Amino acid sequence: MDRDRIFKDAIYEQISRAARALAHPRRLELVDLLCQGPMTVDSLARKSAMSVGNTSQHLQHLKNAQLVRVQVRGTTRIYRLNDGATCDLFRRLRSYAEQHYSDMQAITQAFLQDRETFEAVDAATLHRRLQEHEVVLLDVRPPEEFAAGHWPGAISMPLEDLSTHMSHLPRNRTIVAYCRGPYCVLALQAVELLRTEGFRAVRLAEGVADWRAQGLPVERDEQTS
């Protein structure tokens, strides 16, 4: 084998490391979750409906490819993305699938076909409507995800607490609910629950990772590291 060929094989082998690590749907889901902020193995396992053992194995693959890193605090291991490029890579893969795979569109349409059509609210419209006090923005993710990053002015109201606290929401304004992004069902469930109780409610499909990618401001709690 000539020297040029050895060089090329070595380079493409290195590039393939990330591709191999991401070539599993569960690992992609873990990356999507970590786009929200750092999480423990237990939290990732619960949110992805996997066992702790399986979650740890998938995280090890991602760690070996330097897509995630781990921080040890006592007996707790906290995982986070190695840098913002990992989330950008996931978003580009998601976008490519949306544009080129008809199956992805069919799966989404089949999932939503028996549900009401949700109003599309883009970031600019949302900002204007918030400034004019036309809407109330709810972040229905778990509190630790809200603390790691959220839309300025959003109210943290996790889905599991929504039934208990929705009586504090105004009925003369539209409620806009968001979660992790276009394929997160938490906001979808929140809108359905709110509409059942007589609120005007819509879903914002974009999430924190999308806003960061657009250069929009994202707030975080100061104590969040």
Single-letter amino acid, residue 200: R
Pairing between β-strand 39-40 and β-strand 68-73 as defined by DSSP bridges: unpaired
C-alpha radius of gyration, the chain, whole number: 20
Single-letter amino acid, residue 77: R
Among 50, 54, 47, which residue's Cα sits nearest to residue 33? Answer: 47
Q: In what order do the strands lie in the sheet with 39-40?
A: 39-40, 76-81, 68-73
Q: How far is CA 199 from CA 2, 170, 202, in A?
A: 70, 9, 10
Q: Which of the following is catalytic: 35, 87, 179, 184? A: 179
DSSP letters spanning 161-211: HHHHHGGGS-SSSEEEEE-SSTT-SHHHHHHHHHHHTT--EEEE---HHHH
Q: What is the separation, in whole angstroms, between the first and last Cα of the chain?
A: 49
Cβ atoms < 10 Å from Cβ of 59: 21
Annotation marks residue 179 as catalytic: yes
Which residues participate in catalysis according to the annotation? 179
